[in-house]
Structure 1
Amino acid sequence: MMHQTPVCRQIILLGAGRVAQHLGPALWRAGHRVTHIWSRTAEAAQALADAVPGAVPTTSLALHSLPTPDLYILSVPDGAVAQVLAAATLPPRALVVHTAGALPLAVFEAWPAVRGGVLYPLQTFSAGRLIDWSTVPLCVEAAQPADQTLLLEVAQSLSQLVETVATPQRQALHVAAVFACNFTNHLFGVGYALMQQAGLPFTLLEPLIRETVQKALAQPPFTVQTGPAARHDTATLERHQALLHQHPTWLAIYNQLTASIQEQQTVGAPNNHGRLSL
């Protein structure tokens, strides 16, 4: 069950991309008031404002002319955060947070008049997908204790999984998430393409994918590694390499992952307790 919001916070959302498209309505459902939504294009700002009752779309970064909210949430690509901060005119001592996993809190140091913070949702966001925000880990960081308290309050109104996470740990978390999510999804895509090439339905792989994920969540993943690389099955590896010869990029990935699996086995093998001896 989602936490109740102790205070209705006034929020201006800067950005209308994939994260903002999920975050804006979630903030409204949690009891906050998103007063304005900014985007570079009027169409994007209007589309998101239509999904957030009471929100006013804008393409102007003259933010000092708007009523000052409790919080500005800057939900744009990492490379655009500094650009938006440089272009915006903010009221003195405005609390501005970004939603990026890899971007340090120190990005705000170039704007000493701004109180900086981070509200990072550890989730993948795509159009048309429903997100249960109560299960989304939210990582919070702020330079000032009072600001961190406010961010924790907002985060806890959205999710049951809220942590205070400093920049170095958050950046490590983001790298781990890229391996676990983005790279894994790419490998699913390679598998999908190979199944299509063979004239087979991708659904044949679904039970295997589900069992693999469930097993990796139940035990340390390295301890349950299977497959020809783990078995050092040279004959099977060579057959696979021959089949992938027409896809040199995928062959390179196959060879690199095979080497990584085998190297990991030499670094630490499962002990009698199912854990790695490192």
Structure 2
Amino acid sequence: MKMHIMPIRRNLKFHVPDEKVLNWHSWGPTVTQFFNTLSLFFPEGERFFINSVRKYRDRIDDPELQEAVRAFIGQEAMHGREHEDYNQKMVEAGLPVDTQEAIVSKLLDVISKYTPNALQLSATVALEHLTAILADILLREPDLIDDSDESYQRLWHWHALEETEHKAVAFDVYQTVFGTGIKAWALRSVGLVLATTIFFSLFYPFYLINTWKVGQLFNLKGWWLSFKFQWLKPGGLRRVVIPWLDWFKPGFHPWDHDNREFLAEMDSLIGDADGYQKNEAA
């Protein structure tokens, strides 16, 4: 298999500041909690993705795809580590993120124990599609985080770049194992609908709770800014809809959304991060 892009495992540390964790975004604390709530899903989610792909490593004969899987696992592990640090700062600042993470962990444990491996991999490729879309929007619309705290900007920028870099790896594993026929299409289609529904059914209640905890639940101006941010201009979630629907095209591949030009931004980002190493074993 010819890889579109070969991911690279990078050991980057961002040390986001504790004192700004509740209000680091330039649009204020309500939009900050939007990003903070996204962050709480990543450590457990990344572990689920890694385990879902690992279950099929013995079905991969192509050496390039094997190498890409190793890098994918390494990147996801680094994402989990950095977001664990970020999330711990939220806990120390008074957000109930540890309780929310425990709910996510329990849900994923149940899915891992009681659903077929094929469904778990389909959920993984579906959520990788969703995160790749969000990453692309963040890269195309820098005003989504412009003028925010630089450390948090760098962390989210790095995560978006690496999600872009490895966005097709789990999908290529899925196609290697299950092919491209109608059954494979149906399974991944169901996976996206279920995964998206479950994710947002958890995300928005957690977002409301976290906004309440920072004293912004009844701040109408804050909620207007959040609505505008998500659905109007810049409209981060509004921009998700069309590329999300592309998933249901029978011949779809993640690199049909070709945005590799953004990966050139990685070098300058690395220069601003601590302790950079790459190509460590996963």
Greater per-residue strand proportion: 1
Give the TM-score of the pair, scaled to structure 2: 0.25
Q: Which fold has the larger relative contact order, with Cα–Cα distance below 8 Å and residues 6 or more apart in sequence? A: 2
Greater per-residue helix proportion: 2
